[in-house]
Structure 1
Amino acid sequence: MMKVAAIQMVSTPDVKENLATAKRLLTTAAESGAELLLLPEYWPLMGMQETDKLNIAESPGHGELQNFLGDMARSLNVCIIGGSIPLRSPVEGKVLNTTLVFDAQGKVDACYDKVHLFGFHKGAESYEESRTITAGDKVVTVETRIGRVGLSICYDLRFPELYRAMGECALIVVPSAFTYTTGQAHWEILLRARAIENQCYVLAAAQGGKHVNGRRTWGHSVLIDPWGKIVSELAEGEGVVFGDIDTNLIQNIRESLPALRHRRIQSSGLS
């Protein structure tokens, strides 16, 4: 067993304010016994403009955001999966939307750059991440005490082939900032599908509420078990979702319904 936690935030355009909120919620999660903590996508900044993230982009291994995550993991003696932060891209005027995994000593265990970039246009709502973000091109997992953890970010959730390419995971994480419109329609369905088809837990940490920039995010941070059952969920607002990863349950489900062994078509693509 391992207790895990998903942090839900309603991030603002003020990085210092968001750092303080993240510190408070991470500390609450660790003090409640969680050993693996997940932050949401864009936790350090929900800017007034898409380009605001360029102003806080950091080089790998250097910067306030990375120092904060490493220091928190070390001081709390936990694994922190750092939602997403902007790292500098080789493409001028763009960033990488990156998840960094810090071990309990505050060292980086894994780095994943978001592969699938969100685009949505309906009425007054318009989003096009490719204008300011460079897509990643690698599937990334990290080994933990409970087994393999697969890394993904938000819009990746709509692409099941990414998760197949991870191999057999005990846990998939999905830090997100789903819009209210798309979240209301598809969030729970997609998360439960990824858990059921991969026969593993799914932990999703979301942005959840009305932001200063006018954007409204869906929230509903959640832990889902390998049978597709919701273990714990938070609808809106700041808070923490807790739950246990039971490796015996994963094994029992895979033995009674060996769907992963029954596959006939193998995935290919990203390295």
Structure 2
Amino acid sequence: MKSYLAAALQMTSLPDLKKNLVQAEELIDLAVRQGAELVTLPENFSFLGEEQEKLVHAEAIAQASEKFLKTMAQRFQITILGGGFPVPVGNGKVYNTALLVGPNGEELARYEKVHLFDVNLPDGNTYEESSTVLAGMRMPPVYPSKELGNLGLSVCYDVRFPELYRHLSQMGAEVLFVPAAFTAYTGKDHWQVLLQARAIENTCYVIAPAQTGRHYSMRQTHGHAMIVDPWGAVLADAGDQPGAAIAAIEPSRLEQVRRQMPSLQHRVFV
């Protein structure tokens, strides 16, 4: 693992596939111009609209999203994470799929979100992700990159389930991805503290690209894409506008924190 710059991109995705991919490309270009070698896109980066509309166009969204990620990775010679897009599985449902792609355009890892956001919030909004999404059945993978470190995948609502990240750390993860479209209501209270907790308890870097702003009439997201170091320090925060949180991933910092706070070695219940 070497020292390198990573980017957590922040988007305001819409119910418009073409516009979203144009926005994503512009932000990728921005991040690469600043030196990022690892670029991460948020959940729903290619489409964020009504659930039924997503289902109608799922096949086209899936094909375009995967092609886009592979094209961008090759064009800019970067490793890229597409934090979540629908992939049809039949029976009228999709997997919410995160895809990690290498600089040669090759698929490195794929994860189908296992925790689905079925919640009635106090602000009156109801979310029922399981109405259109089939939960993944496999624990998320850790992709071992010689240059970028061991990369652990997750998606959004997963961040509330610490056992998933403990699994990733047990599998050797050094960098945790948490691409999200966190609601504005929950984000203001929970987003940053959950990311910091996952970083601290697993002594890992956390890279969390995010959605921000209003996407359609009933959907508003929190923003604040960020990168957190293994001590829990927020290294970069994209605020509430589209843009990028960019920070250095330093193996020496990872080693220092794990040496000073060897909690992973002190676990009693495994």
Measured against the shorter chain, the TM-score band is over 0.9
Match of 2:106 in 1: 107
Q: Is 1:193–1:228's contact at 8 Å kept on the other side of the alignment?
A: yes
Which AA in structure 2 matches 1:5? A
Give unmatched runs, 5+ long, in structure 1. Answer: 267-271
TM-superposed deviation, 1:59: 9.0
Q: Is 1:10–1:207's contact at 8 Å kept on the other side of the alignment?
A: yes
Q: CA RMSD in A?
A: 1.4
Match of 2:28 in 1: 26
Counterparts of 2:46 and 2:261, CA distance in 1: 41
Match of 1:53 in 2: 54
Q: Is 1:118–1:155's contact at 8 Å kept on the other side of the alignment?
A: yes
Counterparts of 1:201 and 1:160, CA distance in 2: 15
TM-superposed deviation, 1:245: 0.5
- Normalized per residue, the structure richer in helix is 2
How many residue pairs are counted as aligned between the two chains? 263
Q: State whether structure 2 residue 78 is matched by structure 1 residue 72.
A: no
Give a deviation string over 1:218-257, Cα, whole Å, max 9, x none: 0010000000000010121210110010111111111111
Match of 2:237 in 1: 233
Counterparts of 2:56 and 2:260, CA distance in 1: 51
Give unmatched runs, 5+ long, in structure 2. Answer: none
Structure 1 runs (4+) deviating above 6 angstroms are none
Which AA in structure 1 matches 2:189? A
Which AA in structure 2 matches 1:113? E
TM-superposed deviation, 1:148: 0.8
Match of 2:97 in 1: 98
Q: State whether structure 2 residue 10 is matched by structure 1 residue 11.
A: no
Match of 1:161 among 155, 160, 163: 163
Counterparts of 1:51 and 1:78, CA distance in 2: 34
Match of 1:131 in 2: 131
The TM-score with structure 1 as length reference comes to 0.94
The percentage of counterpart residues that share the same residue type is 41
Q: Give SS of 2:214's match.
A: coil
- Normalized per residue, the structure richer in strand is 2
Counterparts of 2:92 and 2:63, CA distance in 1: 19
Which AA in structure 1 matches 2:98? T
Counterparts of 1:75 and 1:30, CA distance in 2: 11
Q: Is 1:56–1:86's contact at 8 Å kept on the other side of the alignment?
A: no
Match of 2:143 in 1: 142
